């Protein structure tokens, strides 16, 4: 059940940052973080580095050698390979990791899961891939450290179709972030929905 409908495929090759504000702070924390200083074996750390760099063949070889696709999921201050690939918009690596059973629910900095990271980074094609994963409905309304949901980040952008799709999947428009702003209020502000 692929949910990458038209309107979800976007340019995933350049990193986009919001111009300041609290979303910019989330970018800084995630951009500065990464596999350096991460726990784990050399092969596990190599998996994180290869995923971030978009080295699909290297990621495949490491997984074929038995490195855990979900390494980092239960460790503090350690991302998963999927989080690294999503953060760096490595669509081919994301596809490989998902095919090998990578979980979308582990959180890293700012309590963001892979859905948050994709939505915040406006990686809409990758977000569409993640949304097609089994069990995603159980984490669709998870809140990050700032109280923001995936829908909140999408509402901060300009993609009406993606916003409507998330609502159709059960994303709650009324969950407030830590400052009391809801995804619906943000969507109205950005012209994604009518008041």
User: What pLDDT was estimated at residue 23?
Assistant: 38
Q: Are 69 and 149 in contact (CB under 8 A)?
A: no
Residues 23-56 have pLDDT tens digits of: 343 333 444 444 555 678 999 999 999 999 999 9
| CB neighbours of residue 130 within 10 Å | 24
Please list, in sequence order, all residues whose beta carbon lies within 8 angstroms of the beta carbon of residue 117, skipping any fewer than 6 positions away.
Answer: 30, 83, 86, 87, 108, 123
Determine, yes or no, domain membership for 3.
no
Q: Are 144 and 26 in contact (CB under 8 A)?
A: yes
Determine, yes or no, domain membership for 13.
no
Determine, yes or no, domain membership for 15.
no
Residue ranges in the chain modelled with pLDDT below 70? 1-38
Determine, yes or no, domain membership for 16.
no
Determine, yes or no, domain membership for 8.
no
Report d(CA 175, CA 172) in Å as an integer: 6
Report d(CA 114, CA 91) in Å as an integer: 13
DSSP string, 11-47: --SS----SSHHHHHHHHHHHH-SSTT--S-HHHHHH
Q: What is the token pair recorded at 109?
A: 């900095």
Determine, yes or no, domain membership for 48.
yes
Count of structural domains, the chain: 1
User: What pLDDT was estimated at residue 37?
Assistant: 52
Tell me the CATH number at 79.
1.25.40.20
Please list, in sequence order, all residues whose beta carbon lies within 8 angstroms of the beta carbon of residue 165, skipping any fewer than 6 positions away.
Answer: 3, 5, 8, 131
Please name the residue that has the structure tokens 């569409």: 128
Determine, yes or no, domain membership for 10.
no
The domain of 134 spans 21-189
SS3 152: helix
Q: What is the token pair recorded at 16?
A: 């986009």
Determine, yes or no, domain membership for 61.
yes
Q: Are 183 and 173 in contact (CB under 8 A)?
A: yes
């Amino acid at each position: 059940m692929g949910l990458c409908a038209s309107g979800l495929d976007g340019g995933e090759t350049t990193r986009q940052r919001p111009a300041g504000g609290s979303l910019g702070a989330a970018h800084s924390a995630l951009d500065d973080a990464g596999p350096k200083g991460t726990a784990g074996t050399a092969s596990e750390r190599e998996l994180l580095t290869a995923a971030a760099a978009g080295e699909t063949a290297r990621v495949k070889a490491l997984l074929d050698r038995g490195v855990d696709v979900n390494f980092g999921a239960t460790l503090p201050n350690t991302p998963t390979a999927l989080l690294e690939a999503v953060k760096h918009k490595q669509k081919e690596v994301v596809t490989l990791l998902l095919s090998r059973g990578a979980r979308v629910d582990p959180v890293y900095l700012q309590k963001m899961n892979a859905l948050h990271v994709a939505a915040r980074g406006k990686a809409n094609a990758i977000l569409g891939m993640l949304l097609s994963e089994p069990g995603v409905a159980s984490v669709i309304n998870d809140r990050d450290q700032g109280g923001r949901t995936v829908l909140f980040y999408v509402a901060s952008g300009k993609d009406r179709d993606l916003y409507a799709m998330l609502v159709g999947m059960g994303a709650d428009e009324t969950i407030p972030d830590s400052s009391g702003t809801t995804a619906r209020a943000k969507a109205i502000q950005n012209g994604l929905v009518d008041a």
